[in-house]
Protein backbone atom coordinates (compact mmCIF):
# COMPACT_ATOMS: atom_id res chain seq x y z
CA UNK A 1 0.00 0.00 0.00
CA UNK A 2 1.44 3.32 -1.06
CA UNK A 3 0.94 6.62 0.78
CA UNK A 4 2.15 8.78 -2.03
CA UNK A 5 5.41 10.51 -2.72
CA UNK A 6 7.33 11.17 0.53
CA UNK A 7 8.83 14.32 -1.06
CA UNK A 8 5.40 15.83 -1.85
CA UNK A 9 5.10 19.18 0.04
CA UNK A 10 1.31 18.85 0.13
CA UNK A 11 1.29 15.38 1.59
CA UNK A 12 1.29 14.42 5.27
CA UNK A 13 4.59 14.73 7.17
CA UNK A 14 6.84 11.76 7.58
CA UNK A 15 5.67 9.26 10.17
CA UNK A 16 2.03 10.37 10.10
CA UNK A 17 -0.89 8.61 8.52
CA UNK A 18 -3.02 10.61 6.09
CA UNK A 19 -6.40 11.82 7.29
CA UNK A 20 -5.31 12.64 10.85
CA UNK A 21 -4.35 16.11 12.13
CA UNK A 22 -0.87 16.57 13.54
CA UNK A 23 -0.56 16.08 17.29
CA UNK A 24 -0.46 19.36 19.32
CA UNK A 25 3.02 20.49 20.21
CA UNK A 26 4.17 21.68 23.63
CA UNK A 27 2.46 25.01 24.53
CA UNK A 28 -0.07 24.87 21.70
CA UNK A 29 -3.79 24.24 21.79
CA UNK A 30 -5.19 21.77 19.28
CA UNK A 31 -6.44 23.45 16.16
CA UNK A 32 -4.68 26.79 16.76
CA UNK A 33 -1.33 27.98 15.62
CA UNK A 34 -0.58 30.21 18.66
CA UNK A 35 1.06 29.16 21.91
CA UNK A 36 -1.18 29.08 24.96
CA UNK A 37 -0.97 32.09 27.30
CA UNK A 38 0.77 31.34 30.60
CA UNK A 39 -1.69 30.73 33.38
CA UNK A 40 -1.95 32.76 36.59
CA UNK A 41 -0.22 35.95 35.39
CA UNK A 42 -2.06 39.29 35.78
CA UNK A 43 -2.46 41.74 32.92
CA UNK A 44 0.65 43.58 31.84
CA UNK A 45 1.29 47.02 33.39
CA UNK A 46 -1.73 47.10 35.74
CA UNK A 47 -1.79 45.87 39.34
CA UNK A 48 -4.64 43.71 40.45
CA UNK A 49 -7.59 45.81 41.64
CA UNK A 50 -8.45 45.56 45.34
CA UNK A 51 -11.74 43.92 46.25
CA UNK A 52 -14.83 46.11 46.08
CA UNK A 53 -15.60 45.60 49.75
CA UNK A 54 -12.79 47.90 50.86
CA UNK A 55 -13.71 51.57 51.60
CA UNK A 56 -12.62 53.96 48.88
CA UNK A 57 -13.00 51.47 46.02
CA UNK A 58 -16.61 51.58 44.91
CA UNK A 59 -17.86 51.63 48.50
CA UNK A 60 -18.25 54.88 50.49
CA UNK A 61 -16.30 55.40 53.69
CA UNK A 62 -18.46 55.08 56.79
CA UNK A 63 -18.83 58.15 59.00
CA UNK A 64 -16.85 57.70 62.26
CA UNK A 65 -18.83 57.40 65.47
CA UNK A 66 -17.47 60.70 66.81
CA UNK A 67 -18.79 62.50 63.72
CA UNK A 68 -22.18 60.84 64.13
CA UNK A 69 -22.30 62.04 67.75
CA UNK A 70 -21.41 65.61 66.76
CA UNK A 71 -24.03 65.51 64.01
CA UNK A 72 -26.77 64.35 66.39
CA UNK A 73 -25.78 67.06 68.89
CA UNK A 74 -26.03 69.68 66.14
CA UNK A 75 -29.59 68.58 65.45
CA UNK A 76 -30.42 68.64 69.19
CA UNK A 77 -28.90 72.11 69.51
CA UNK A 78 -30.89 73.26 66.48
CA UNK A 79 -34.11 72.02 68.05
CA UNK A 80 -33.39 73.83 71.31
CA UNK A 81 -32.43 77.06 69.55
CA UNK A 82 -35.52 77.07 67.34
CA UNK A 83 -37.76 76.23 70.32
CA UNK A 84 -36.32 78.98 72.54
CA UNK A 85 -36.33 81.45 69.65
CA UNK A 86 -40.02 80.84 68.98
CA UNK A 87 -40.92 81.01 72.68
CA UNK A 88 -38.91 84.21 73.11
CA UNK A 89 -40.46 85.82 70.05
CA UNK A 90 -44.02 84.94 71.10
CA UNK A 91 -43.45 86.02 74.72
CA UNK A 92 -41.85 89.33 73.73
CA UNK A 93 -44.62 90.05 71.25
CA UNK A 94 -47.26 89.32 73.90
CA UNK A 95 -45.52 91.58 76.44
CA UNK A 96 -45.34 94.37 73.89
CA UNK A 97 -49.08 94.02 73.22
CA UNK A 98 -49.76 94.33 76.96
CA UNK A 99 -47.52 97.39 77.16
CA UNK A 100 -49.29 98.98 74.21
CA UNK A 101 -52.68 98.36 75.78
CA UNK A 102 -51.60 100.02 79.03
CA UNK A 103 -50.10 103.01 77.25
CA UNK A 104 -46.46 102.22 78.05
CA UNK A 105 -45.58 100.71 74.69
CA UNK A 106 -43.13 103.49 73.85
CA UNK A 107 -41.14 102.80 77.01
CA UNK A 108 -40.71 99.10 76.23
CA UNK A 109 -40.21 99.30 72.48
CA UNK A 110 -36.39 99.36 72.74
CA UNK A 111 -36.34 96.28 74.99
CA UNK A 112 -38.82 94.57 72.69
CA UNK A 113 -36.60 95.28 69.70
CA UNK A 114 -33.59 93.72 71.45
CA UNK A 115 -35.67 90.71 72.47
CA UNK A 116 -36.91 90.20 68.91
CA UNK A 117 -33.32 90.47 67.66
CA UNK A 118 -32.21 87.77 70.11
CA UNK A 119 -35.09 85.52 69.00
CA UNK A 120 -34.14 85.99 65.33
CA UNK A 121 -30.48 85.19 66.12
CA UNK A 122 -31.56 82.00 67.91
CA UNK A 123 -33.65 80.95 64.91
CA UNK A 124 -30.75 81.72 62.54
CA UNK A 125 -28.34 79.66 64.65
CA UNK A 126 -30.87 76.83 64.68
CA UNK A 127 -31.05 76.89 60.89
CA UNK A 128 -27.24 76.93 60.71
CA UNK A 129 -27.06 73.92 63.04
CA UNK A 130 -29.41 71.97 60.77
CA UNK A 131 -27.44 72.98 57.67
CA UNK A 132 -24.12 71.87 59.20
CA UNK A 133 -25.61 68.59 60.43
CA UNK A 134 -26.99 67.81 56.98
CA UNK A 135 -23.69 68.69 55.29
CA UNK A 136 -21.67 66.38 57.56
CA UNK A 137 -22.32 63.52 55.13
CA UNK A 138 -21.04 65.20 51.97
CA UNK A 139 -19.25 68.38 53.04
CA UNK A 140 -15.51 69.02 52.99
CA UNK A 141 -13.03 71.06 55.00
CA UNK A 142 -15.15 74.22 54.82
CA UNK A 143 -17.97 72.55 56.77
CA UNK A 144 -15.48 71.44 59.41
CA UNK A 145 -14.03 74.95 59.82
CA UNK A 146 -17.52 76.49 59.96
CA UNK A 147 -18.54 73.97 62.61
CA UNK A 148 -15.43 74.79 64.69
CA UNK A 149 -16.20 78.53 64.54
CA UNK A 150 -19.86 77.88 65.30
CA UNK A 151 -19.10 75.67 68.31
CA UNK A 152 -16.62 78.26 69.61
CA UNK A 153 -19.30 80.97 69.42
CA UNK A 154 -21.72 78.67 71.23
CA UNK A 155 -19.16 78.12 73.99
CA UNK A 156 -18.64 81.88 74.39
CA UNK A 157 -22.41 82.38 74.50
CA UNK A 158 -22.82 79.64 77.08
CA UNK A 159 -20.11 81.10 79.31
CA UNK A 160 -21.70 84.54 78.97
CA UNK A 161 -25.12 83.20 79.93
CA UNK A 162 -23.67 81.42 82.95
CA UNK A 163 -21.90 84.58 84.15
CA UNK A 164 -24.89 86.87 83.64
CA UNK A 165 -27.55 84.34 84.62
CA UNK A 166 -27.13 84.64 88.37
CA UNK A 167 -28.18 81.05 88.96
CA UNK A 168 -31.45 81.38 87.03
CA UNK A 169 -32.73 79.81 83.83
CA UNK A 170 -30.08 81.62 81.76
CA UNK A 171 -27.38 79.86 83.75
CA UNK A 172 -29.00 76.48 83.13
CA UNK A 173 -29.39 77.20 79.41
CA UNK A 174 -25.78 78.39 79.23
CA UNK A 175 -24.59 75.20 80.90
CA UNK A 176 -26.46 73.02 78.39
CA UNK A 177 -25.17 75.06 75.46
CA UNK A 178 -21.62 74.93 76.84
CA UNK A 179 -21.70 71.15 77.24
CA UNK A 180 -23.12 70.44 73.77
CA UNK A 181 -20.86 72.94 71.99
CA UNK A 182 -17.82 71.64 73.88
CA UNK A 183 -18.43 68.09 72.68
CA UNK A 184 -18.95 69.29 69.10
CA UNK A 185 -15.74 71.34 69.18
CA UNK A 186 -13.75 68.43 70.63
CA UNK A 187 -15.08 66.18 67.87
CA UNK A 188 -14.14 68.69 65.15
CA UNK A 189 -10.50 69.09 66.21
CA UNK A 190 -10.01 65.32 66.41
CA UNK A 191 -7.98 63.38 63.85
CA UNK A 192 -11.08 61.44 62.82
CA UNK A 193 -12.71 64.71 61.72
CA UNK A 194 -9.69 65.58 59.59
CA UNK A 195 -9.76 62.15 57.94
CA UNK A 196 -13.53 62.30 57.36
CA UNK A 197 -13.80 65.78 55.89
CA UNK A 198 -10.65 65.39 53.76
CA UNK A 199 -11.55 61.94 52.47
CA UNK A 200 -11.41 61.31 48.70
CA UNK A 201 -14.76 61.47 46.94
CA UNK A 202 -15.40 59.33 43.88
Helix axes 141-165, 169-188, angle to 10 degrees: 160
Domain count, the chain: 1
Structural domain including 179 reads: 65-197
| This prediction's pTM | 0.63
The pLDDT, as a whole number, for residue 144 is 92
pLDDT tens, 43-74?
A: 555 555 555 444 545 556 788 888 899 999 99
Q: Would 36 be classed as within a structural domain?
A: no
The pLDDT, as a whole number, for residue 53 is 46
Q: Would 191 be classed as within a structural domain?
A: yes
Q: Encode 58-82: b = buried (16+ Cβ within 10 Å), e = exposed.
A: eeeeeebebbeebbebbeebbebbb
Q: Would 172 be classed as within a structural domain?
A: yes
Given a cut of 70, the residues of the chain with pLDDT beneath it are 1-60, 103-108, 165-170, 201-202
Amino acid sequence: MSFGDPNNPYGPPQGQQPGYPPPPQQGQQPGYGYPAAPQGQPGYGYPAAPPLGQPGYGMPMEMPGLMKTARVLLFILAGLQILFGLIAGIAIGALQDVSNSTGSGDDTSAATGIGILVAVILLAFGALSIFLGVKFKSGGGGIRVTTIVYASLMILGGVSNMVRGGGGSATFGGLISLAIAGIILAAMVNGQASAWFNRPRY
